[in-house]
Amino acid sequence: MKKRTLGSGNLEVSALGLGCMGMSFGLGPAADKNEAIALIRTAVERGVTFFDTAEVYGPYTNEELVGEALAPFRGQVAIATKFGFKLDPRTGAQAGLDSRPEHVKEVAEASLRRLRVETIDLFYQHRVDPNVPIEDVAGAVKELIREGKVRHFGLSEAGVQTIRRAHAVQPVTALQSEYSLWWREPEAEVLPTLEELGIGFVPFSPLGKGFLTGKIDENTTFDKTDFRNVVPRFTPEARKANLAFVDMLRRIAEGKGATPAQIALAWLLARKPWIVPIPGTRKLDRLDENLGAVDLHLTPADLREIDESSSSITLQGARYPEHLQKLVGR
């Protein structure tokens, strides 16, 4: 497995990570625990050293799953988790944002226990909290780093001014935000800022929440607990229109002896050497398919064709419902 380095903090990880959220949360009923543990451990055997979770995935159950699965591999892998939501103590439901320094430290202690580690490798602010100055948030993580409880500081879905202000207090190792062939907004301001500051980029939903695999069309039905049911981009009408992206990927994939998902991931890997996508899956064959993208070489002509073809496609549907869109890009 090829390695990549995130940020000037020199966090070296596998070129492709594994997003673990969907094993417990957001994409239908939780996966069978033993099967999920087996998949995570197989990923390690395949060379994956970067795993992504968060306290709100479940809530809590995904961190516990990742902690148990990776317990035999301490020191060999990097685990990223996140803070920043307020959770109802009775139900665990999200009840707004909370990045007050004292809460950040409470979350760190709880995550350390669930992950069964002494240090969190990468600790992201999950969403920017407008009620807490980012300097205070960065300062809290700086203290956790000084205490040896966190190694690296990250941000998720933050805007460029927030990134700059946070980085001035505690160097940011990585930004995690959505980025894929059908969501390229980070290219306008975010990617140039990260390059300037020496911050790595971790794209989540690099396969468009599964759409760019080519396995979803307008007739696909999702479980009632699947987050995609409320995403405007996943209405049947939008899916039907957006299949143009999949058709384009499939055409290029056929010429390379690859799959649409592999082309989508290889495209991201070709953008910058400090980009590490974290596709999620519950299936071994999909894990192997995704990992195959690491060794797939796209020529300059391939990349030009992808850019030219995708630029002529008009994407249908917003990536988030309005109430969630307000939480990003602050």
Specify the pLDDT at position 197.
98
Specify the pLDDT at position 280.
97
Mean pLDDT score, 177-183: 96
pLDDT 10s digits, 186-240? 999 999 999 999 999 999 999 999 999 999 999 999 999 999 999 999 999 999 9
Alpha carbons 287 and 30: distance in angstroms, whole number:
18
First to last CA, the chain: 35
Q: pLDDT category, 94, cuts 50, 70, 90? A: confident
Catalytic residue among 57, 60, 124, 179: 57
Strand partners of residue 81? 123
Q: Which of 128, 57, 143, 49 is nearest to 96 (CA)?
A: 128
Domain ranges of the chain: 3-325
Specify the pLDDT at position 256.
96
Superfamily of domain 3-325: NADP-dependent oxidoreductase domain (3.20.20.100)
Longest dimension (CA), the chain: 55
57 catalytic per annotation = yes
pTM of the model: 0.97
Q: What would the DSSP string read from start to end of 99-128?
A: --HHHHHHHHHHHHHHHT-SSEEEEEESS-
Residue 93 in this model has a pLDDT that exceeds 90: no
Specify the pLDDT at position 90.
82
Residue 89 in this model has a pLDDT that exceeds 90: no
Q: pLDDT category, 91, cuts 50, 70, 90? A: confident
